[in-house]
Amino acid sequence: MREIKIDDHHASSLLPEGYTWKLAWHDEFDGPVLDRSKWGFRRHFWGKRFDTFAGEEAIRFDGKSNIELHLIRQGDDFSAPLLQTGSLTWDIPKDSQGFWPFGRYEQPRFMHRYGYYECRCRLQRQPGWWTAFWLQAPGIGATSDPGASGVEVDIMESFQPGEIISHALHWNGYGHDHRGMHSNGMARIDHKRDIMRLNLDDYHYFGVHWARDGYTFYVDGVQSGQKLTDAVSHTEQFILLHGECKGYRVDGKPCEEVRTVVLPEAFVVDHVRVFDEVNV
């Protein structure tokens, strides 16, 4: 991997060798407020308000060029923010007065195709919630062609403090036609075997090289798992930084584990960057 500096004030990027890279988009989170020209909040899940998705109230800036995505408590409920540069069509609430089954179109902040996507971050420290860095397409699953409809690309998912699971692709929607593949080369993961353990005190680099022929994942500048070529999106997709309390997707309430969390508790992100290959 090559260490590339974008300026003299922020951490370098770690990019795959053998390519010429050009910075296409980035957020260094210098603050003091969220750049709403780059990020929005996901507040709905399959068209309905999802109580565990928080908004501005769960965002902090530490003054050191980092954004903190906080787990917060309001009474008996817990929530965390899910930042996104676009939106999933199926999440937008439909017009209750009309026959059209989709909501009002939302203009994306940033959509992109191919390149290298990198996040430098420090993982959550306590159990009961999970964090992720991933890509999604607005119309994923709209057709049986993932090249046209998009592929969910899970670059980093951490379901326990200091642990990330193998990287993954999901395509053809999330119902009966859903298909998936992990970077272990299997459709499913072994939660005892396919885990990478990382130091909780350190910032880590998570990245994916999205090429026309597949996805190659990296952790701290080292390739992680095998290149995935089972399904490749050839349409523009958006970026997500994800914090979510466990339990709400199961029975609409927080898991017992999260009730033991000592606040403040946060997923800390130093930067998100997108690079294009030059002369491709």
State the Cα–Cα distance between residues 90 and 134, nearest whole angstrom.
17
Higher model confidence: residue 48 or residue 233? 233
CATH number of 28-258: 2.60.120.200
Res 142 pLDDT > 90 = yes
Query: What is residue 138's predicted lDDT score, i.e. its pLDDT?
Result: 95
Higher model confidence: residue 91 or residue 12? 12
Contact present, 116 and 20 (Cβ < 8 Å): no
Query: What is residue 280's predicted lDDT score, i.e. its pLDDT?
Result: 63
Which tens digits make up the pLDDT trace of 26-77?
999 998 999 999 999 999 998 888 989 999 999 999 999 999 999 999 999 9
Average pLDDT over residues 7-23: 97
Q: In sequence order, which ranges of 82-150 are alpha helices (DSSP H)?
A: 146-149
If you average pLDDT over every residue of the chain, what do you get?
A: 94
State the Cα–Cα distance between residues 142 and 57, nearest whole angstrom.
33
3-state class percentages of the chain: helix first, strand second, coil last, to nearest 5: 5, 45, 50
The span from the first CA to the last CA of the chain, in angstroms, equals 19
Res 25 pLDDT > 80 = yes
Q: How many CB atoms lie within 10 A of CB 75?
A: 5
Which tens digits make up the pLDDT trace of 260-273?
999 999 999 999 99
Q: Where are the domains of the chain?
A: 28-258
Res 95 pLDDT > 90 = no
